[in-house]
Structure 1
Amino acid sequence: MSGVAKMQPQAGRRPSLEFRPLGDLMIDDSYQRSIDSGPSQSLVKRIARAWDWGLCQPLNVAKRDDGALYVIDGQHRLAAARLRGDIFDLPCVVVASRSADDEAAAFVALNQQRRPLSKLELFKAALAAGETEATVIHGALTQAGLSVATTTNPDSWKPGQVSNIGGLEYCVRQYGEKILRTSLLAASVAFHGQVLRYFGTIFPGIAAGVSVHGVAQGDLIGMVLGSCDQSEWRDAINRAKAEQPNLNMRDAAVLAIGRAIAEAMGGEEHRHG
């Protein structure tokens, strides 16, 4: 058929799907990563504490010529099952192995093929699961007339779509829900009908400004934001970073937008003085 990529011949042997006792499953330290580190041990304890069979993917296991079974992928799940003490076997995809070198090559290939989930994908899953933080963020976006982008590709975004999930999570954790809602509403008014291409760069400054001056100043902050387009704010943030190279982009946004809000607040005080 035209347009169909030519397929390479199948490689390797078909695996078997088996439940194997924990005591039969071994780890080859010559190619496996150590799980003695703090983050790995935290992961093992988290999996063990809230074990969910619906989340337990089969382990990828190599069967050597002598019948020994070595885990290629899944040692955190294995360690968590052992830690619990009430799990006696695990589902495994068992494939014949010619050598430890073959297993190491499979280990590398499996990890190279694995694409980590983006913040956007994790947020959508958390929202579907009803997690509190995701629900709060979704509600704040909806109230502001905004929505979550369908992809991380800005060329596909429609007006009012945002993808800076990490920034919104930081805002909730650092400042709380009221600041998030006010910040999103101010941005929605300022950039109404626009594709929010630089929203992730600008938003930390908005949230910090609302936090400093209070939710009652949300309308004024929205007017300040609307006085420049997004690319002008991006340029102002870049200038702030150039002035103080030790700043990260978040702090540069806080500085640049904070200056503009402070100037506007000063003007308001002068007119009402």
Structure 2
Amino acid sequence: MTKGFDMTANSGLLTGKRALITGASSGIGAAAARLFCENGASVLLVARREGELAVITKELTAKGFTAAYAVTDVSRTEEVKRAVDRAVELFGGLDIAFNNAGAGAAPAPLHLMEDADFEAVMATNVLGTWNCMKHEIAAMLANGGAIVNNSSVAGLVNTPAAAPYIASKHAVIGLTKAAVEYAAQGVRVNAIAPGTTRSEMMGQWFDLNPGLEQQLHAMAPLPRTADPREIAYAAAWLLSDQASFVVGATVPVDGGWTAR
């Protein structure tokens, strides 16, 4: 970890915010749930895996934070609506949302990939983001709010990733830009584009492709793998009132990868 990076910072950045986080059962989503709670938010954790959600939620509530979970497949619009409705019911409204749920596919030449692999990635990364934005924006229109979508450096530049993943993360940025019309109604939508970050998905890719992590390190001025909490900090700031004039942006959190 970079010298000076405070993993325990509690600035009250999100005090009073009522939050929903997808993909919250591990990795960046779980880190965001902890960070948002530490900084004053009430958080609904959303993911498909109930066991992991229950463990993290219990950890947070044991520390005195306000947290709950909703088992949800973001590719199913009716399940997303139930989760958003649950957040509103529990907290009295929804102020911020971090659409972090994502899926990948094993890298392979495009012409050799199965259609099912493409469809599975698109279902979570694109349709899932669409479903979340649709219902979150509807819940926020009365009082305003902020949304951050999790894209990737693969949504900005070519990377050693599967074509469906690259296409899906470009689409997430497109959806983010398409939602700028809501800024005039008090709902800000932005995106982040993480670089190489420690997560279950990345760990699986590294295990299947020896040397890939070092290859990715060589592509960034900061040649290391990010801690998920570093990505969560960027999302937290964009969701906070401190970012009140940031709309439709995609912020790289990539160790300088896209700056080259």
Taking structure 2 as the reference length, the TM-score comes to 0.22
Which structure is higher in RCO with an 8 Å CA cutoff and minimum separation 6?
2
Higher helix fraction (1 or 2): 1
Q: Structure 1 length as normaliser, TM-score?
A: 0.21
